Amino acid sequence: MKNLLFIGVDQLRWDCLGPRKAVPVKAPHLDRLIENGVSFDRAYCTSPLCTPSRASMLTGDYAFTHGMGTNCDMYHALARELARPERLLHNDLRRAGYRCGFLGKWHVGMEKGPGDYGFEGDAPAGYGNVVKTKAFQDYLTSNGLSYRIEPELYFNPDQQTMAAGRWRGPQASTPCHFLTDQIIGMLQDLVSGSQPFFATVQYWDPPWAAPDLRRLLRPHRPHADYALEQFLGRSFRQAAAR
């Protein structure tokens, strides 16, 4: 039985990665995964919104079947939770003897998170404002890190979904870097066991981190050297050393 790792990134156009990229984004390790694997050139997003797309990826159902046709954290949400959580694909893997782990962005239910459905890992319910979680705060404290965001603009109440802001802090203080540390730790734990595993890490960000968005908008000045790329680079080097 094979181990499975699902790396999810948000707000990413299909033509930013791989041999057919139209946008000159530098993401060598993601490109390497695509070039040495299978590229689904006729795979389509089922919805332009986050919650419906994520629910479809995690259940295999269209939105009119899983019932989450809008983002679950908005005032006009059609559903706050999955109507048929038994359709989550990891249930089949668990029955087959897999350990299943989930880290990062959930956004497929406001009150129930991955842990409520049997996933290992510490992922918050809802959109998941990770910077307010104890795990993230402990990570900052233990590594002597701090940051500030200015200005802070949010889409919805309780400062859940940030619309815009500039991160003022070292790269290691970002949620991307935090999640990368988490998934490396989870994988180390999973591979030490005797069971096959399925693990997914869902980043809140696209696969680049620019301290100033204008750097991305200048021709031929893309930037993709961030925690996800570092994670993949470290993983390739570790695999080559075995």
- Considering only residues 185 and 150, tell me which one the structure prediction assigns the higher pLDDT: 185
Q: 104: which 2 tokens?
A: 């990062």
The DSSP bridge partners found for residue 27 are: none
For residue 228, the model assigns a pLDDT of 59
Rounded to two decimals, the pTM is 0.83
Residue owning tokens 């695999």: 239
Can you tell me the distance from the alpha carbon of 55 to that of 82, in angstroms, rounded to the nearest whole number? 8
Can you tell me the distance from the alpha carbon of 176 to that of 141, in angstroms, rounded to the nearest whole number? 16
Confidence of residue 230 (pLDDT cuts 50, 70, 90): low
Provide the residue type at 54 as one letter.
R
Sign of the alpha-carbon torsion through 182, 230, 26, 35:
negative
Provide the residue type at 78 as one letter.
L
15-24, 33-42, 157-166: the lowest-pLDDT one: 157-166
Q: Round to the nearest angstrom and report the end-to-end CA distance of the chain.
A: 20
For residue 222, the model assigns a pLDDT of 41
Task: Provide the greatest CA pair distance for the chain.
Answer: 51
The DSSP bridge partners found for residue 4 are: 198
pLDDT tens-digit readout, 108-152: 999 999 999 999 998 999 988 888 899 999 999 999 999 998 877
Alpha helices in 98-241 (DSSP H): 134-142, 175-191, 214-217, 227-241
Omega of the bond leading into 151 within 30 degrees of 0 (cis):
yes
